A and B are shown apart, each in its own frame.
Chain A
Amino acid sequence: MSASSASRAGRAWRRGLGRLSPLGWVSLTVVVAAGLVALAPVWFAPQDPLAFDILRRLEGPSTASWFGTDELGRDLFSRVIYGVRLSLGASLGVVLLTALVGIPVGIVAGYLGRAFDTVLMRVADMFISFPSLIMAMAIVTVLGPGLRNAMIALALVWWPQYARLARGQVLQLRELPYVEAASALGAGSLRIMLRHLLPNAFTPIAVKMSLDVSVAILATASFSFLGLGAAPPSPELGSLVTQGRNYFLQAWWYTTLPGAVILLLSLAFNSLADDLRDLLDPTLRF
């Protein structure tokens, strides 16, 4: 990257940050903090998330353990810190996986048209007409419960949304002179799709991906809550809520605090994605 384009990118960033709403700033802080926590939980967790101390069983929040302790006396705050890593990793994984399946399908359908378009889009329409999470639950049951299988199942039911979006973009782009020019210069279909269509179709897709992180956080947590995702004793946030549910009349903090962290993460990603959408493309509406 040349010096001038680097400084241009820097200016764009500063301009973007300058237009963040106050809520956007708070959200950005939460997202960055969550990212750091997810990358190196060992720096942030005050105690070993697996070390149990049965004498400190179900203690309420205190200065010694901010979120209290669980039924084995493990420090809940440390478990939540490791849980953020699992939940965030799984949600980003779901979004990436979904996009990786959906975008190529959409671009191929939109650019090649004809039978490709008809068949791929009818299949996509069919998937969109299913109650998607219920179908995903059925898929996880067959694959076997677990965080990885929950991610695969969610990607399998969500890809049509990306396929539709990418196809819509490509249908507009492929009529533009620059695509025709590339084709006249002898570029093959694959080159046109990868080098010319994908980068230009990407803005609304990026906005959707950022909005979907929050949806994915909620979905993976819900799956773990139902016992279809991460299973106890995993500190995945949804799974922590389930574990706490057995004690929730005597230890309110055990379900409440990990769940509040799910809400906080999902809220931060949602609000940041909102601002990102306004910055990147104010005409887009989801």
Chain B
Amino acid sequence: MVTFLVRRIAFMLVTVLGAVTVTFVLATMVPSDPARAALGPDATETQVAQYRRERGLDQPLPIQYVRYVGAIARGDFGTSIVSRTPILDDLARFIPATIELLVPSLLISIVVGVGLGIAAAFYRGTWIDQIARFLSLVGLSMPIFWLGLVLQLVFFRALGWFPASGRLDSGFSPPPLASGLYTVDALLAGRWDLFWSAAHHLVLPAVALSTLTLGIVARMTRSSLLDVLSSNYVRTARSKGLQERRVLWKHALRNALIPIVTVIGLRLGQMFSGAVLTETVFAWPGVGRYAFTALRQLDFPVVIGFTVWATLVYAFVNLLVDLSYSWIDPRVRLE
């Protein structure tokens, strides 16, 4: 177990170093001059030269690289070229909004996806199976930016049930900062009206973001459950007269869980990309939109900071997924 953890954490660090290296190389390939970009067209040559000296941009690239990696290792992500605020502060400000969006959409994907998968496997070959498979296929094939716009058209414009963008209604100011998640902070402050407004704003973007993962989880649940349902011990359970429902819930589902949990972990990394699209469509002030705006403005320190953060979270979640294997199936030994 300890060896496993040490090896995994070492690989995690190598991966993050890889991400930093790739983004650093990309940043050096950008045709525009970062010093000029930061200071604007009106700055004099002397000012630009001074900026380069202060930031170490006049040093050879290998030295810049080593310094940069050293700074990141110390937790110093630098400052944004455009807003001139420390990137870590920006990330801390935008990450809660993205988490607030990711958690419910992951929950929707898991609950609906696993439900569809179980229904399809349980009623294999019937019309219920056909419909569940078709729905999961639609989820897999959905362009989420388009779904976001259609949801806005239907539920905002036509029906007026949900707001189209932002995190709160215009009359409200954010709840006192605790977690940065408006729903949680509103509950902590005992403000039901604020909680309602925040939750209301969450519905459409969370649904849009959940579709792809939902489709993948449903398919994985179905195929994994079908594998298990054809195994010998399930036959034994049936032949000793257990009810089919009991066989499914008590015996089969837990053993079908490992591939499902794995695919959920793998999807989380991809959901950051989905968050870029969803946050753009719904003007959601999260880290995906922040990174995308930075990308458009060639603000590479921000892009690198975001990539490092996303890689770390992704690696960490997958570590948790691996650790969960031995909890789901005690025969699994982590080595």
Contact of B273 among A133, A139, A256, A259 (CB under 8 A): A133
Alpha-carbon distance A80/B26, docked complex (angstroms): 34
Contact assessment for B277 and A222 in the assembled complex, using a CB-CB cutoff below 8 Å: yes
Q: Name 28 A/B residue pairs within 8 A (Cβ), A-sorted.
A: A126-B19, A129-B269, A130-B19, A130-B269, A130-B307, A131-B269, A131-B310, A131-B314, A132-B270, A132-B273, A133-B273, A134-B273, A137-B292, A141-B26, A141-B303, A142-B27, A142-B30, A218-B141, A218-B143, A221-B143, A222-B277, A248-B149, A252-B153, A255-B149, A255-B150, A256-B153, A259-B150, A263-B143
Interface core residue of A23, A126, A256 (most chain B CB under 10 Å): A126
Which chain A positions have C-beta within 8 A of B18? 126-127, 129-130
- Known pairs A130-B307, A226-B292; A267 contacts B137 (CB<8 A): yes
Q: Chain B interface mostly helix, strand, loop or mixed? A: helix
Contact of B149 among A23, A125, A218, A259 (CB under 8 A): A259
A214 interfacial by beta-carbon distance below 8 Å: yes
Contact of B143 among A141, A142, A238 (CB under 8 A): A238
A271 interfacial by beta-carbon distance below 8 Å: yes
Of residues 114 through 140 on chain A, the ones whose CB sits less than 8 Å from some CB of chain B are 122, 125-127, 129-135, 137-139
A14 interfacial by beta-carbon distance below 8 Å: no
Alpha-carbon distance A197/B11, docked complex (angstroms): 31
B43 interfacial by beta-carbon distance below 8 Å: no
Contact assessment for B141 and A131 in the assembled complex, using a CB-CB cutoff below 8 Å: no
Interface core residue of B145, B149, B269, B298 (most chain A CB under 10 Å): B145
Which chain B positions have C-beta within 8 A of A238? 143, 145
- Known pairs A132-B270, A263-B141; A138 contacts B276 (CB<8 A): no
| Interfacial residues, chain B to chain A (CB-CB below 8 A) | 11, 14-15, 18-19, 22-23, 26-27, 29-30, 134, 137-138, 140-146, 149-150, 152-153, 157, 223, 269-270, 272-273, 276-277, 280, 291-292, 295-296, 298, 303, 306-307, 310-311, 314-315, 318
Contact of B134 among A23, A126, A245, A269 (CB under 8 A): A23
Contact assessment for B14 and A241 in the assembled complex, using a CB-CB cutoff below 8 Å: no
Contact of B146 among A130, A132, A241 (CB under 8 A): A241
Contact assessment for B307 and A129 in the assembled complex, using a CB-CB cutoff below 8 Å: no
Which chain B positions have C-beta within 8 A of A260? 146
Contact of A134 among B141, B145, B153, B272 (CB under 8 A): B272
Alpha-carbon distance A241/B144, docked complex (angstroms): 12
Alpha-carbon distance A165/B233, docked complex (angstroms): 31
Which chain B positions have C-beta within 8 A of A130? 15, 18-19, 22, 269, 307, 310-311, 314
Contact of B26 among A142, A267, A269, A270 (CB under 8 A): A142
Q: A130-B311, A255-B149 are in contact. List 9 more A-B contacts (CB 8 A).
A: A129-B15, A132-B270, A133-B270, A133-B276, A135-B307, A141-B298, A218-B142, A259-B149, A274-B137
The residue of chain B having its C-beta at the shortest distance from the C-beta of A271 within the complex is: B137
Contact assessment for A138 and B26 in the assembled complex, using a CB-CB cutoff below 8 Å: yes
Alpha-carbon distance A214/B142, docked complex (angstroms): 10
Alpha-carbon distance A142/B22, docked complex (angstroms): 12
Which chain B positions have C-beta within 8 A of A133? 270, 273, 276
* Chain B: minimal CB distance from A64 (Å): 24
A266 interfacial by beta-carbon distance below 8 Å: yes
Which chain A positions have C-beta within 8 A of B303? 138, 141
Q: Give the number of residues in A that approach B within 8 Å (Cβ atoms).
A: 43
Q: Chain A interface mostly helix, strand, loop or mixed? A: helix
- Known pairs A227-B296, A285-B223; A131 contacts B270 (CB<8 A): yes
Which chain A positions have C-beta within 8 A of B273? 131-134, 137
- Known pairs A129-B311, A248-B149; A270 contacts B140 (CB<8 A): yes
Contact of A214 among B141, B146, B310 (CB under 8 A): B141
Contact of A129 among B138, B276, B314 (CB under 8 A): B314
A249 interfacial by beta-carbon distance below 8 Å: yes
Which chain A positions have C-beta within 8 A of B295? 137-138, 141
* Chain A: minimal CB distance from B67 (Å): 21
* Chain A: minimal CB distance from B307 (Å): 6
* Chain B: minimal CB distance from A107 (Å): 23
Alpha-carbon distance A122/B303, docked complex (angstroms): 24
Chain A 260-282 per-residue mask, 1 if CB under 8 angstroms from chain B, else 0 = 10110011011100100000000
A225 interfacial by beta-carbon distance below 8 Å: yes
* Chain A: minimal CB distance from B87 (Å): 15
Contact assessment for A263 and B146 in the assembled complex, using a CB-CB cutoff below 8 Å: yes
* Chain B: minimal CB distance from A7 (Å): 33
* Chain A: minimal CB distance from B198 (Å): 24
Contact assessment for A137 and B314 in the assembled complex, using a CB-CB cutoff below 8 Å: no
Contact of A131 among B11, B137, B272 (CB under 8 A): B272
Interface core residue of A134, A135, A259 (most chain B CB under 10 Å): A134
Alpha-carbon distance A270/B135, docked complex (angstroms): 12
Which chain A positions have C-beta within 8 A of B153? 248, 252, 255-256
